[in-house]
Chain A
Amino acid sequence: MPPDFIAAWLNKNDIFTAMTIMEYWDGMVTTVQLVFLCLIIGLVFAVPLAILRTVKNPFVSGPVWLYTYLFRGTPLLIQLYIIYYGVAQIPGIQETFWWEIFREPFYPALLAFTLNTCAYTTEIIRGAIISTPHGEIEAAKAYGMNWFMRMRRIVLPSAARRAVQAYSNEVIFMLHSSAIASVVTIVDLTGAARNIYSRFYAPFDAFIFVALCYMVLTFILVFAFRKLENHLLRHQRPVGS
């Protein structure tokens, strides 16, 4: 499409003005920030938790199991509500500096999303760790590697390869779940669409456009993960390809 055609279309259009497109853009920035941060923090905590979850001692693995069970067994919306409405009820919090942070809806939402994705990621990594071929661990032991080195050099890298497929699903799932941030007054992509819908009473324009935005984000993620998977599993490619 030539640019002047787009300009002409935008000139005649009442809904997709430069202003509403900026609203969508700001919403997209918020969505990407929220999802990116919660995934990174979730992943950082999920790796040690997954290792703890594989420990034989039930007093170590039990609490981690309980955490993942609770967060995977309840809807994210409830977790968000509990944290968003609940934080203000903690006695004395309104006098501390935490209140400056948690007064904004962004941080309670980030906390809820992080706890949720961390629970799912822990289970994904745990599944990958426990399916490590026994021979690999035996070989590492035979080489005289201690537990730490075995984890770092053998178990975790091979678990990462097995986990990447399931983790890419979790990332996309999180992107889609982040739409509920709009319920606690955050103006993310969905929040922007809801604002624009209520201003123009034009459900199709507002929501189909935002659906396309999410679809573009999803396909970028799918593409990136496919590249990553090819990179991680390149030793398994058939010879000659």
Chain B
Amino acid sequence: MFDLKGYGPALLNGAVVTVELAFLSLALALILGLIGAAAKLSNSRVAVGIATTYTTLIRGVPDLVMMLLFYYGGQVGVNMLSDYIWETYEVDFFFQFNPFISGVITIGLIFGAYMTETFRGAFLAVETGQIEAARAYGFSKWHTFRRVMVPQMLRHALPGIGNNWQVLLKTTALVSIIGLTDMVRVAEEAAKAERMPFHFFIPVAFVYLALTAGSELFIKWLDKRANVGVIQET
């Protein structure tokens, strides 16, 4: 019914690359978000300053510009670093920057900033009584964070994480611009070669649609589970 002119397997591989990219970036974003939120809520002025600068910078710059900067600039930076290491320590060190790595780093950094805001709001939604009770039981700061704050915060963070994930998934399409052979790249090449833009882009659009619709359902299910013990006001 749908003739993909032999580009089918390449498109499928591209879809796998897209999903891998999205999950790795999400993992990085979640880690950065947790660190960022902890820094923003800490008492250290330096940590608050660094985290605020990070989130402000990221929110002021387009994703594509960041990606180009990391992809082209990253290689130049690594080359400079390896020159320096060679000259001072005579150690041969080289690292090839590829589009996949720069994509993961850029998307992770961008969504880390958004996750920081999500987690910050969620941490603030945890009742102070819970934290006081943990301290009264003699929990250390780290212990309180890990055992009391993180588990209770997750429930509040879930809708925000879900929204960020939906946007992240669509941002992965940009990595095709710096040359990653993801779904979009394959479709673009096929569309140009066969002169059939609708034929290749519309199936790719539907794959994205399926991914976002599927994650919507999954997030709803997670949300339901996370709120099991909570009386819902209707």
| Interface residue ranges, A against B (CB under 8 Å) | 70, 73-79, 81-82, 85-86, 89, 172, 175-180, 182-183, 190, 193-194, 197, 203-204, 207-208, 210-211, 214-215, 218-219
Within 8 A of A (CB), among B208-233: 208-209, 212-213
- Are A214 and B68 in contact, with the CB atoms below 8 A? no
Contact partner of A77 (CB less than 8 A), chosen from B66, B176, B202, is B176
Q: Known: A74-B170, A78-B204, A203-B69. Contact between A89 and B62, CB under 8 A?
A: no
| Interface residue ranges, B against A (CB under 8 Å) | 57, 59-66, 68-69, 72-73, 76, 170-174, 176-177, 184, 187-188, 191-192, 195-198, 201-202, 204-205, 208-209, 212-213
Shortest CB–CB separation between residue A238 and chain B, in angstroms? Answer: 22
A75 to B188, CA, bound (A): 14
Can you offer 19 A-B residue contacts whose CB atoms are under 8 A?
A: A70-B205, A75-B173, A75-B208, A77-B174, A78-B205, A79-B205, A81-B188, A81-B201, A82-B202, A176-B63, A190-B62, A203-B68, A204-B69, A204-B76, A207-B68, A207-B73, A210-B65, A215-B57, A218-B61
Q: Known: A77-B184, A176-B62. Contact between A194 and B205, CB under 8 A?
A: no
Q: Known: A77-B176, A82-B197, A180-B174. Contact between A175 and B62, CB under 8 A?
A: yes
A218 to B63, CA, bound (A): 13
Specify which chain B residues have a CB less than 8 angstroms from the CB of A86 in the assembled complex: 197-198, 201
Main secondary structure of the interface of B (DSSP, over half): helix
A81 to B186, CA, bound (A): 13
Contact partner of A177 (CB less than 8 A), chosen from B61, B62, B73, B172, is B62
Specify which chain A residues have a CB less than 8 angstroms from the CB of B187 in the assembled complex: 78, 81
Nearest first, the 7 closest Cβ-Cβ pairs linking A and B are: A85-B197, A215-B60, A75-B173, A203-B72, A176-B62, A203-B73, A179-B62
**CB-CB nearest in chain B for A31:** B62
Specify which chain A residues have a CB less than 8 angstroms from the CB of B69 in the assembled complex: 203-204, 207-208, 211
**Given contacts A74-B205, A180-B64, A219-B60, could you give 12 more A-B pairs where the C-beta distance is less than 8 Å?**
A75-B170, A75-B172, A75-B184, A89-B196, A176-B64, A183-B177, A204-B76, A207-B68, A211-B65, A211-B69, A214-B60, A214-B62
A193 to B66, CA, bound (A): 12
Q: Known: A73-B208, A179-B64, A203-B76. Contact between A85 and B173, CB under 8 A?
A: no
**CB-CB nearest in chain A for B170:** A75
Q: Known: A89-B198, A211-B66, A214-B60. Contact between A78 and B73, CB under 8 A?
A: no
Shortest CB–CB separation between residue B103 and chain A, in angstroms? Answer: 13
**CB-CB nearest in chain B for A208:** B69
- Are B73 and A180 in contact, with the CB atoms below 8 A? no
A207 to B69, CA, bound (A): 6
Contact partner of B68 (CB less than 8 A), chosen from A74, A82, A175, A194, is A194
- Are A82 and B177 in contact, with the CB atoms below 8 A? no
Shortest CB–CB separation between residue A203 and chain B, in angstroms? Answer: 4
Shortest CB–CB separation between residue A177 and chain B, in angstroms? Answer: 7
Specify which chain A residues have a CB less than 8 angstroms from the CB of B202 in the assembled complex: 82
Specify which chain B residues have a CB less than 8 angstroms from the CB of A204 in the assembled complex: 69, 73, 76
- Are B63 and A78 in contact, with the CB atoms below 8 A? no
Specify which chain A residues have a CB less than 8 angstroms from the CB of B61 in the assembled complex: 176, 211, 214-215, 218
Q: Known: A73-B213, A180-B177, A183-B177. Contact between A207 and B72, CB under 8 A?
A: yes
